[in-house]
Amino acid sequence: MASWKKFTAIAALLSVVVGLTGCGAAPTTKIFEAFEKASSAEVNVTAALETLKTLEDKDEKQYINILDQGKTDNRNVQTLIDNTNKALEERKQAIEQVKVHLDDARSQMGELDKAIAKLKDEELKKQAEQAYTAYVKRYDTFKALHEKYGQWLEREQFIYDELKSQNTKLKSITTGISERNEVYRQVEELKTQFNDYTTQFNTLKSDFYKGAGLQVTKTEGNQDDNAEQQEG
Amino acid sequence: MVDRGRVTVGKRRRRSRKKFIGRTILFLLFVAIGIGIYAAGKSLLGTVSASGSDLIVTEVATFASAAKEKEIPKEFNGMTRKVAYLTFDDGPSKYSNDMMDLLKQHDIKATYFMLGDNMNTYPDAVKRMVEEGHYPGLHSMTHDFNKLYKSGGSGNFIKEFQEAQGIVENLTGFKPTLIRAPYGSAPQIGESFRKDIADAGFKMWDWTLDSLDWKFIGQPNRILEQIKGTLTADVEVILLHDRQQTLEALPSIIEYIQSKGYEFEVYDPNAHFVCNFHHDKRL
């Protein structure tokens, strides 16, 4: 009897220990799911980024038109400037949309340090770590970009207010444009960094999946292959 | 007897129940061990089993860009802005501090085009220049025509300007990109030479008004006369030098230019405009 009791106790203890060890998903699965949840959450980012690009292009053309039409009298361009202000508001909404989606995507990704640490294969661990780091840096870069973009829009607004004003002064417009150009350059730098991290994440993620023996198919039309840059 | 029988039956029943419970627990424990070992094995192997069909993955998006730097209007709402850039070549020198004192009194920022050797001789002047908002442009290391333009290409030229750029950066932390070619860019700097300058990341200014101050030693009034006779454009980039006669003429030069409705500006890399003899937009 006593031996039966002992055996039962040992078996119970062993099963709890082994059972707990087996609990939870494999780390590769967890990492894959995190990567793809985050990536899928960004599906609507593409459309918002395209909207931003269209609006930036529109602003560029409208500005030239305003300078041309307003050379002799800025009363000629009041409606044009009002339209441009509306477009600025749309740009603000578009960048906020991007932020909402990226914030969501980041939270979908979660923290993967523990899952990555559980990977036994060192090469696989390194690949996962690099991909995860690239994504985190990309998100951090976007946060800085979002803030700068807001400042950029403020500078744009100032310029158009000056162009519209009855008491407009060229010196004030000049100062405003100089400050706007400074912030614009900073935004472009951050865009470049963001795009670099995007490429890194997409590539490193693929490498990780390959290393883990996963067969994958990429969904279409989710990324521009090259970030288009206008010559300054 | 009956009571002892009831007690015996009771005991037997309790014993059976205990056996049943014990066996059930054992059975469940074996099942749990089996599951645990299976799961532990999966965890140790660390792989996601591919069922044969591909997993769908999504690539994340990049930022595109359509914006450009905005151009500063020269005219708007019937107004034309008249701007003068005071530019001083060949410094810094022993006159630089006095010159900067004078500019400070008038709240004017100037654009300097400095020589490397002089920067090494007067490093504090370079630092002060940047601190007080003047632009520390570059004018080569040697100002040597043959070395810069007759060496078979742009190599020496680029090298000297990069060296001068490094001096400013080391002294001030600021890396200037605006240069002025000694003796001007025409005719000695051709198309491919200019391409090399642009590729090296520089912008290049010549001038719109030459004060000829370098030749009016001891004759500051002649400098003012020269400026009076040639100040015409809405935007003037005025060539001056870091010399004694220029320092002496400067108060009257400033007064005259202001009397003609000009505002003084300093070079702004964020508002660059083309001012080279070739009208080369790359520079």
8 Å CB contact of A213 and B46: no
pLDDT of residue B41: 55
pLDDT of residue A142: 97
CATH 3.20.20.370, applies to B76-271: yes
A223 to chain B, closest Cα gap in Å: 4
Could you tell me how many residues make up chain B?
Answer: 283
Threshold 0.95, pTM exceeds = no
Q: Of the candidates B118, B103, B111, which has an alpha carbon nearest to the alpha carbon of residue B135?
A: B111
Q: Cα(B17)–Cα(B19) distance, rounded to whole angstroms?
A: 5
pLDDT of residue A24: 55
Can you tell me the mean pLDDT for B110-124?
A: 97
Catalytic annotation on B241? yes
* Tens digit of pLDDT at every position of chain A (232 positions): 556 677 667 766 666 655 555 555 688 999 999 999 999 999 999 999 999 999 999 999 999 999 999 999 999 999 999 999 999 999 999 999 999 999 999 999 999 999 999 999 999 999 999 999 999 999 999 999 999 999 999 999 999 999 999 888 888 898 899 899 999 999 999 999 999 999 999 999 999 999 999 888 887 544 444 333 333 3
The SS3 call for residue A148 is: helix
pLDDT in tens, B173-191: 999 999 999 999 999 999 9
8 Å CB contact of B25 and A212: no
The SS3 call for residue B178 is: strand
Q: Active site residue: B134, B206, B241, B242, which one?
A: B241
The Cα diameter of chain B in Å comes to 146
- Who wins on pLDDT, B273 or B24? B273
pLDDT of residue B9: 67
Q: Which of B31, B63, B199 to mutate to test the interface with A (most CBs of A within 10 A)?
A: B63
The whole-chain average pLDDT of chain B stands at 90
On whether any CB of chain A is under 8 Å from the CB of B40, the answer is yes
A29 → closest Cβ in B40, B48, B56: B48
pLDDT of residue B23: 81
On whether any CB of chain B is under 8 Å from the CB of A3, the answer is no
On whether any CB of chain A is under 8 Å from the CB of B36, the answer is yes
Contacts of residue A193 in chain B, CB cutoff 8 Å? none
Q: Cα(A214)–Cα(A186) distance, rounded to whole angstroms?
A: 39
Q: How many CB atoms lie within 10 A of CB A9?
A: 10
Contacts of residue A227 in chain B, CB cutoff 8 Å? 62-65
Q: Cα(B118)–Cα(B112) distance, rounded to whole angstroms?
A: 12
Query: Residue B14 — pLDDT band, cuts 50, 70, 90?
Result: confident
pLDDT of residue A183: 96
Q: Cα(A140)–Cα(A186) distance, rounded to whole angstroms?
A: 15
Predicted confidence (pLDDT) at residue B95 exceeds the cutoff of 80: yes
Binding-face residues of B in 264-283 toward A, CB within 8 A: 268, 270-271
Token pair 């339209």 is found at A83
Binding-face residues of A in 77-96 toward B, CB within 8 A: none
A51 to chain B, closest Cα gap in Å: 10
Nearest CA in chain A to B262: A171
The SS3 call for residue A198 is: helix
8 Å CB contact of B55 and A11: no
Angle (CA) B136-B137-B141 rounded to 5° is: 110
- Who wins on pLDDT, B275 or B21? B275
Query: Residue B10 — pLDDT band, cuts 50, 70, 90?
Result: confident
Predicted confidence (pLDDT) at residue B103 exceeds the cutoff of 90: yes
pLDDT in tens, B44-56: 544 444 445 678 8
Query: Residue B144 — pLDDT band, cuts 50, 70, 90?
Result: very high
Predicted confidence (pLDDT) at residue B33 exceeds the cutoff of 80: no
- Supply B163's token pair: 């060296």
Least confident of A135-149, B6-20, B193-207: B6-20
Pick the CATH number of A35-211 from 1.10.10.10, 1.10.287.610, 3.40.50.1820, 1.20.120.570: 1.20.120.570
Contacts of residue B79 in chain A, CB cutoff 8 Å? 168-170
Q: Between β-strands B55-57 and A216-218, what pairing exists: parallel, antiparallel or unpaired?
A: parallel
Catalytic annotation on B280? no
Contacts of residue A228 in chain B, CB cutoff 8 Å? 64-66
Query: Residue B2 — pLDDT band, cuts 50, 70, 90?
Result: very low
8 Å CB contact of B48 and A214: yes
Q: What is the DSSP letter of A70?
A: T
pLDDT of residue B198: 97
- Note whether B140 and B115 are within 8 A (CB): yes
B266 to chain A, closest Cα gap in Å: 12
Nearest CA in chain B to A117: B46
On whether any CB of chain B is under 8 Å from the CB of A10, the answer is no
